């Protein structure tokens, strides 16, 4: 593979790692928020919901802006905003201001998926795009894993906000480096996004609805892993943070393997890539039931590692399926629509999970996520069976 390919993939992946370190500090710090502000499990869920609400509300306008001005500007400015938002979360003096700070942090993270996906499909040639997508998506799980170790690990030696401040410093440095070194498209389409055309694309709409349920499973898993392992299994916060890092590590493996298989398995792109997503979704449903029955640190680590491989490993494949359904000049807007669906799942699922844990048991909460994945699997199967879209798609170029 040529130098240009690796330059693009490396810079975009580095950006994604840094952005995710900032964003996922909130998920790693749930137990500290609970202790600092005296929160119930339901209120912890509202923190995750508020974070993702900011993300979801800004995705569509940011996706349209990315299509218009190009990914270089939106990604560079976005990472500066993420660094600032991380500092605000660390310094929040009350629960109400914490919610304001995480909303702002989430809103700036909306630059991530539209910008990085556009970079991959604009700058990487066909036959390499799915692998590049898998590598880039490892930045999400890699950044989240680093964040978990930073926040939970440093809290025992310094103070719980220390990891947040380091994450902000990393984000600031990488933002400058990315702005200087990235050589992707400087501008984008001058046309207005064709949202009506996307709405009339039936398989795309089905994929968006599936994303609502897939996102509910993904974000609730990352939001409650630390709290569950600490409370239900009875481990230390440091061990619980390590389990979350393991979840992210295995999720990275799932994304890499999913991207490689998407490029190398035979068959029509939508069918073969959609089939991979279907397997990932069904496996996640089964593993949620396994996680619900863990009782020791060892079994929890193994069960969560396997769960992470599938439930955190699907996102690159999810966007590769999307690329078989939409044209290249709508990648920013189409990505925004799919990401709105993924993050919207986190608006209702974490509080529902926390409410069930408060009023019933954690086992009931994990079983709820298993059922959500079954619904997602039905919708993914419908995407595979639907009539293909008319015209050339991003994957075909």
Asked whether the beta carbons of 370 and 304 are under 8 A apart, the reply is no
Give me the half-sphere count of Cα atoms (radius 13 Å) on the Cβ side of residue 245.
16
| Number of other residues whose CB lies within 10 A of the CB of residue 46 | 18
* Range 246-273 average pLDDT: 84
Output the pLDDT for position 392: 56
Looking at residue 324, what DSSP letter applies? Answer: T
Q: What are phi and psi of 324, to 5 degrees?
A: -85, 0
What's the CA gap between 150 and 123, in Å, rounded?
A: 33
Q: Is the pLDDT of residue 191 over 60?
A: no
Q: Give the residue with greater pLDDT, 394 vs 238.
A: 238
- Model confidence at 375, in pLDDT bands (50, 70, 90)? very high
Give me the half-sphere count of Cα atoms (radius 13 Å) on the Cβ side of residue 275.
10
What's the CA gap between 296 and 275, in Å, rounded?
A: 34
Asked whether the beta carbons of 151 and 160 are under 8 A apart, the reply is yes
Of 26-30, 85-89, 324-328, least confident by mean pLDDT is: 324-328
Q: Give the residue with greater pLDDT, 253 vs 138.
A: 253
Q: Give the burial string for 282-292 (b: 16+ CB within 10 Å, else e).
A: bbbbebbebbb
Q: What's the sign of the alpha-carbon dihedral 60, 65, 67, 73? A: negative
- Model confidence at 204, in pLDDT bands (50, 70, 90)? confident
Helix (H, G, I), strand (E, B) or coil at 184: coil
Asked whether the beta carbons of 185 and 123 are under 8 A apart, the reply is yes
- Model confidence at 170, in pLDDT bands (50, 70, 90)? confident
Q: What are phi and psi of 93, to 5 degrees?
A: -90, -10
Asked whether the beta carbons of 351 and 45 are under 8 A apart, the reply is yes
Q: What is the largest CA-CA distance in the chain?
A: 58
List of long-range contacts for 86-89, beta carbons under 8 Å, 24+ apart: 86/22, 86/25, 86/164, 86/165, 86/167, 86/168, 86/171, 87/164, 87/165, 87/168, 89/25, 89/26, 89/164
Asked whether the beta carbons of 80 and 378 are under 8 A apart, the reply is no
- The CA-CA-CA angle for residues 142, 143, 144, to 5°, reads 90
Query: Whole-number mean pLDDT of the chain?
Result: 82
Number of helical H runs and strand E runs in the chain:
17, 0
268-297 per-position pLDDT tens digit: 888 889 999 999 999 999 999 999 888 888
* Range 180-188 average pLDDT: 65
What's the CA gap between 360 and 344, in Å, rounded?
A: 24
61-120 per-position pLDDT tens digit: 887 777 777 777 788 888 899 999 898 988 888 888 989 999 999 999 988 877 787 777
CATH of the domain spanning 3-181+193-388: 1.20.1250.20
**What pTM, to 2 d.p., does this model score?**
0.71
């Amino acid at each position: 593979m040529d130098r240009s390919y690796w330059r693009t993939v490396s810079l975009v992946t580095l950006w994604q790692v840094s952005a995710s370190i900032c964003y996922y500090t909130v998920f790693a710090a749930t137990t500290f928020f609970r202790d600092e502000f005296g929160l119930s499990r339901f209120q912890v869920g509202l923190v995750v919901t508020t974070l993702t609400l900011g993300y979801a509300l800004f995705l569509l306008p940011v996706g349209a802006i990315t299509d218009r001005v190009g990914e270089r500007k939106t990604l560079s400015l976005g990472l500066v905003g993420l660094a600032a938002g991380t500092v605000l979360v660390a310094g929040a003096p009350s629960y109400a201001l914490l919610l304001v700070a995480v909303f702002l942090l989430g809103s700036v993270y909306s630059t991530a998926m539209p910008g990085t996906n556009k970079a991959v499909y604009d700058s990487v040639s066909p036959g390499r795009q799915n692998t590049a997508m898998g590598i880039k998506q490892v930045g999400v799980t890699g950044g989240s894993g680093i964040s978990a170790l930073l926040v939970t690990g440093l809290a025992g030696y310094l103070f719980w906000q220390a990891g947040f401040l380091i994450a902000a410093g990393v984000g600031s440095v990488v933002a400058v480096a990315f702005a200087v070194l990235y050589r992707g498209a400087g501008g984008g389409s001058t046309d207005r996004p064709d949202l009506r055309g996307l709405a009339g694309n039936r398989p795309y709409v089905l994929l968006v609805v599936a994303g609502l349920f897939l996102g509910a499973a993904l974000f609730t898993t990352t939001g409650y892993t630390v709290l569950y392992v600490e409370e239900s299994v009875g481990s230390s916060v440091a061990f619980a943070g390590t389990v979350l890092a393991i979840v992210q590590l295995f999720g990275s493996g799932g994304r890499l393997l999913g991207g490689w298989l998407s490029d190398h398995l035979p068959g029509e792109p939508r069918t073969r890539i959609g089939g991979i997503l279907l397997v990932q979704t069904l496996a996640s449903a089964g593993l949620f039931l396994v996680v619900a029955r863990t009782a020791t640190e060892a079994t929890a680590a193994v069960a969560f590692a396997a769960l992470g491989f599938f439930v955190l490993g699907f996102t690159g494949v999810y966007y590769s399926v999307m690329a078989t359904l939409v044209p290249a000049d709508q990648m920013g807007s189409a990505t925004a629509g799919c990401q709105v669906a993924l993050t919207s799942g986190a608006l209702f699922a974490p509080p529902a999970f926390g409410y069930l844990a408060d009023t019933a048991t954690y086992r009931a909460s994990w079983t709820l996520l298993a059922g959500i994945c079954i619904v997602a699997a039905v919708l993914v199967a419908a995407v595979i069976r639907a009539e293909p879209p008319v015209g050339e798609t991003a994957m075909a170029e």
